[in-house]
């Protein structure tokens, strides 16, 4: 897979892409990731990428000419061009799985008051990371890149099994509680069902816990049978 990230702050991705699973995936040749400085496509010495909006209004808008030339310079015929926007479809695990099957992803990191509407004609996917406001698209794009790359074949050490339990489309439930050593810590013990060696009972316990946890914390997911957003840690996989 190839991923291009167009941004006015490419340095924000340096540490993120140089550590952990993403770095190993790049070194192993599972994915090629490149940051592209939008200012390289500006037309003046000040490398200006924004201007005042027509008819007035607060803030500055990102120019369509700069964005168009940047996108056209990096996209391939099979590329999916992704823009984060409050008007986009909610980003879910299913979206990540869909993106992980693409050959080429181009992520657009908006800034300031947004991007000129005419840039949308080049966009294939508009997604929203949630109903909140950020100063730019870099953080949402970083989250999407992480969620996509970890799904690529051979990236996680456990293979397909490493993501099987978190395939939210199967049962639409939050992941059940997990435990590791020591068996008792400050008076809190690991449930007996997880340590007695009966895998069938352990799996049934996990299922019950997942149903209970989802009912209490995310009842909306049970009502609509939707896809969940998880926050697991793959570092040890």
Q: How many Å apart are CA 155 and CA 21, to the nearest integer?
A: 7
Q: How many Å apart are CA 149 and CA 128, to the nearest integer?
A: 19
CATH, range 170-224: 1.10.1270.20
What are 235's two structure tokens? 């570092």
pLDDT in tens, 39-97: 999 989 999 999 999 988 888 999 999 999 999 999 999 999 999 988 899 999 999 99
Q: How many Å apart are CA 123 and CA 190, to the nearest integer?
A: 49
With contact defined as beta carbons under 8 Å apart, do 7 and 109 qualify?
yes
pLDDT in tens, 217-227: 989 888 765 44
Q: Does domain 2-149 have CATH number 3.40.50.1820?
A: no
Domain ranges of the chain: 2-149, 170-224
Confidence band (pLDDT; 50, 70, 90) for 133? confident
Q: Of 155, 123, 116, give the one whose Cα is nearest residue 33.
A: 155
pLDDT of residue 162: 53
Can you spell out the DSSP letters for 151-213?
TSTTSSTTTTHHHHTT-TTTT--PPPP---S-SEETTEEPPGGGTSS-HHHHHHHHHHHHHHH
pLDDT in tens, 143-182: 999 999 999 999 997 655 555 555 443 467 888 999 999 9
């Amino acid at each position: 897979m190839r991923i291009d990230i167009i941004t006015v702050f490419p340095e924000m991705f340096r540490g993120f892409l140089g550590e952990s699973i993403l770095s190993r995936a790049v070194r192993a040749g599972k994915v090629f990731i490149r940051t592209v400085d939008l200012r390289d496509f500006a037309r003046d010495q000040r490398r200006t990428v924004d201007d005042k909006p027509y008819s007035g209004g607060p803030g500055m808008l990102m120019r369509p000419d700069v964005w168009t030339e940047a996108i056209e310079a990096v996209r391939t015929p099979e590329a999916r061009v992704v823009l984060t926007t409050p008007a986009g479809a909610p980003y879910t695990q299913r979206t990540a799985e869909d993106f992980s099957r693409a050959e080429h992803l181009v992520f657009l990191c908006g800034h300031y008051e947004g991007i000129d509407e005419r840039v949308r004609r080049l966009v294939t996917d508009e997604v929203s990371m949630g109903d909140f406001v950020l100063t730019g698209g870099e953080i949402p794009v970083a989250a999407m890149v992480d969620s996509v790359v970890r799904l690529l074949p051979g990236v996680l050490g456990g293979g397909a099994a490493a993501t099987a339990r978190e395939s939210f489309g199967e049962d639409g439930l939050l992941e059940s509680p997990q435990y590791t050593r020591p068996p008792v810590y400050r008076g809190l013990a690991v449930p007996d069902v997880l340590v007695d060696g009966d895998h069938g009972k352990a799996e049934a316990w996990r299922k019950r816990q997942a149903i209970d946890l989802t009912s209490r914390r995310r009842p909306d997911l049970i009502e609509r049978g939707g896809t969940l957003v998880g926050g697991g840690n793959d570092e040890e996989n």
